Each structure stands twice: as structure tokens, then as C-alpha cells.
Amino acid sequence: MDLNTINSMSYEQFLDTFGNIIERCPLVTAAIWSQQPFASVTELENRVFDFIESLPLAGKEGILRCHPDLAGRDLMRGTLTDESQNEQAQAGLTLLSAKEKETLGFLNLQYKAKFGFPFVICAKMSDKNKIMQELGSRLQNEQSEELQKGIAEVKKICHLRICDLFLNEKLPTKL
């Protein structure tokens, strides 16, 4: 998939290809389509990041709230998006013992009760032990700090998803 292909995509094709680079937030992708043509893939990514940064507090919190818990309900039910399933599996979250599931579930609950949005981390750059550790320590942070950290992790997830799209040469299905 080259830049010309991207820059000639209709918004439907663009959404079909990039619609889940921010977990369950196709609105972000739909919004930045208007900025075509992109001088590079990095520019496309930067437009995504600029859009996220331009959101009011509630918008940023909303982005975090669209992320499924790590090893949570969606993973148990098999209702994760392909990207999230892949990321969580790669971090070893599909191989947790009953005790680890209980601990992670409890920490996630505590985190959501405190901040009003889920704990978000780029799972692909982590593993189950590091995730538990991070969750335990970030739980002590202030609200504003956790919002910032969560959005920073969303950007890392987005970057890796865009890289995957190019590595896997996922072209848009014909609409």
C-alpha cells in the first residue's frame, strides 16, 4: 500500500483500512480523511495525534473508555477486535492463571473506580507481569497524569497498528 493508494482512497475505503487504528474510535479516522493528501504515513499518524490532542477532556476520556479491559470481559467472551485480540495474546494475556486473572480483574476494577476510564497500556510493548506491575503503580497516580499516560499509550498502540497495516499489506476490500 503506497502513499498514492492512501491519498486516492474514498473516505469509505480509508475508514475500511484505517478505521480501527484507535480502538473502536473510527470517528478519529473519519475526521482526518479530510486532510488528504498526506505527504507521508508519518504525517497521517501526526494528524491522528493532533486530532486527539485537540479534543476536550471528555473527548480524551471517551477515547480511553473505548478500550477493552486487558484480559477482561471482551477477551473472555471472544468479542475483542482482531487488533486487540492480537495485542493481548502477544502480551500473554490469553494464558493467565486463575489467580492472575483475578488479580488483574481486581486491579482493573480499582483503576476504573478511581479514574472513570480503563487502564490503557500498549500491550504489544509489554508482557503480563509488566502490565500487572504498571497497573499497580499507575493506580497511585493523579487523574490528570493517568489521562495523559493513557493517551500516550493509545498513540503507541496506534503507531504499531499503522505499522502492521503496512507490513501485512492490508488493502481495503472493494466497497
Assess contact for 129 and 97: CB atoms under 8 A.
no
Q: Which is nearer to ligand 2AL, 16 or 69 (CB)?
A: 69
The residues in 20-49 that bind ligand 2AL, with binding defined as CB under 6 A, are: 23
How many C-beta neighbours within 10 Å does residue 171 have? 12
Binding residues for substrate: 68, 84-88, 119-123
- Provide, rounded to whole angstroms, the least separation between the CB of residue 166 and ligand 2AL: 18
* Neighbour-count burial of 52, counting CB atoms closer than 10 A to its CB (0-12 exposed, 13-18 middle, 19+ buried): buried
Phi, psi of 70 (to 5 degrees): -75, 125
Residue with cell 497495516: 165
The residues in 110-149 that bind ligand 2AL, with binding defined as CB under 6 A, are: 118-124
Q: Is 67 a catalytic residue?
A: yes
The site string for ligand 2AL over 60-99 (x = CB under 6 A, - otherwise) reads -------xxxx-------------x--x------------
Binding residues: 68, 84-88, 119-123
Report in angstroms the alpha-carbon separations of 139 from 48, 114, 123, 154, 169.
27, 8, 17, 18, 38
**Among 67, 124, 128, 138, which one carries the catalytic annotation?**
67
Q: Which is nearer to ligand 2AL, 67 or 138 (CB)?
A: 67
Q: Which three cell numbers stand for residue 62?
A: 471517551
Q: Which is nearer to ligand 2AL, 9 or 154 (CB)?
A: 154
Q: Which is nearer to ligand 2AL, 38 or 156 (CB)?
A: 156
The reply to whether 157 sits near ligand 2AL by the rule CB under 6 A is: yes
Report in angstroms the alpha-carbon separations of 175 from 8, 30, 34, 84, 102.
14, 16, 19, 24, 43
Q: What are the residue numbers of the active site?
A: 67
| Contact positions vs ligand 2AL (CB under 6 A) | 23, 67-70, 84, 87, 118-124, 157
